[in-house]
């Protein structure tokens, strides 16, 4: 699994802490981690709005399989990601949230609060969240006797989102303010992840045209 970590300006100073815990968990499970957001508060400036654009591009281009993100409360990043087609983001404040989201909702992104409640032992909580998010087979349901309706409802929700959005992904991307998109995709690590791993040529070509 390829996992992208992306953090915005308000919590960029905590990137090293979060990245260390994510890499510890991911590498033990043979997953790769791509740190595509801000690495410190002097890095390429991003807001939670940019995070949604970035996540949607990487997921729809199949450059990554999963996105870990967040902001001060985690709520802004959650809403920003879920605006976009092809992104199913959950809100996670503890390991139980991560486990239940993986087993019941089986989405492709998590948003964490990196300021609210991020105190003593926060790095341990983050590590345990990642362990529960990436352990074992996803979508098994909880409790197990509820698996069938849970899987069915998760699929129905995805169908409803696709019906509401209607347009294909590239059309929605083109409808966003090009300056917002350009800022979102201007980071060198983001571009490296997309251009080296992306499988959708149309999305990649559009990003290149925005940057040109």
| pLDDT for residue 181 | 97
At residue 166, does pLDDT exceed 80? no
Percent of the chain with pLDDT over 70: 100
| pLDDT for residue 54 | 98
Cα 114 from Cα 127, distance rounded (Å):
13
What is the pTM assigned to this prediction? 0.95
pLDDT in tens, 100-142: 999 999 999 999 999 999 999 999 999 999 999 999 899 888 8
Cα 129 from Cα 98, distance rounded (Å):
6
What one-character-per-residue DSSP string does 61-88 give?
TTS-SEEEEEESSSHHHHHHHHTSTT--
Can you give the CATH number for the domain in which 171 is found? Answer: 3.40.1400.10
- SS3 for 4? strand
pLDDT in tens, 11-25: 999 999 999 999 999
At residue 164, does pLDDT exceed 90? no
Question: What's the average model confidence in pLDDT over 27-39?
Answer: 97
At residue 55, does pLDDT exceed 90? yes
Number of domains in the chain: 1
At residue 146, does pLDDT exceed 90? no
Residue 208, number of CB atoms within 10 A of its CB? 13
**Residues 6+ away with beta carbon under 8 Å from 179:** none
Residue pair 83/77 in contact by the 8 Å Cβ criterion: no
Question: What's the average model confidence in pLDDT over 76-88?
Answer: 96
C-alpha angle 172/50/130, rounded to 5°? 110
Q: Domain of residue 99: give its range.
A: 2-211
Cα 89 from Cα 211, distance rounded (Å):
27
Residue 64 C-beta-side C-alpha neighbours within 13 Å: 28
**Residues 6+ away with beta carbon under 8 Å from 72:** 10, 11, 113, 114, 115, 116
Q: Which helix (H) or strand (E) holds 133?
A: helix 122-134
| pLDDT for residue 155 | 86
């Amino acid at each position: 699994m390829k996992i992208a970590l992306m953090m915005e300006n308000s919590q960029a100073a905590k990137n090293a802490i979060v990245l260390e815990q994510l890499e510890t968990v991911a590498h033990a499970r043979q997953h790769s981690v791509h740190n595509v957001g801000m690495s410190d508060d002097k890095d390429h400036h991003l807001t939670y709005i940019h995070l949604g654009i970035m996540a949607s591009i990487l997921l729809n281009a199949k450059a990554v399989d999963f996105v870990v993100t967040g902001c001060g409360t985690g709520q802004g990043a959650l809403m920003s990601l879920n605006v976009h087609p092809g992104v199913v983001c959950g809100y996670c404040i503890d390991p139980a949230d991560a486990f239940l989201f993986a087993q019941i909702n089986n989405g492709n992104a998590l948003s964490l609060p990196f300021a609210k409640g991020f105190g003593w032992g926060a790095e341990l909580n983050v590590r345990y969240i990642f362990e529960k998010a990436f352990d074992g087979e996803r979508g098994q349901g909880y409790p197990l006797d509820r698996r069938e309706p849970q899987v069915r409802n998760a699929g129905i929700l995805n169908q409803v989102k696709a019906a509401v959005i209607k347009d294909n992904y590239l059309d929605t991307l083109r409808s966003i303010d090009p300056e917002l998109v350009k800022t979102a995709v201007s980071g060198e690590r983001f571009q490296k992840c997309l251009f080296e791993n992306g499988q959708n040529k149309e999305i990649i070509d559009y990003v290149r045209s925005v940057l040109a």
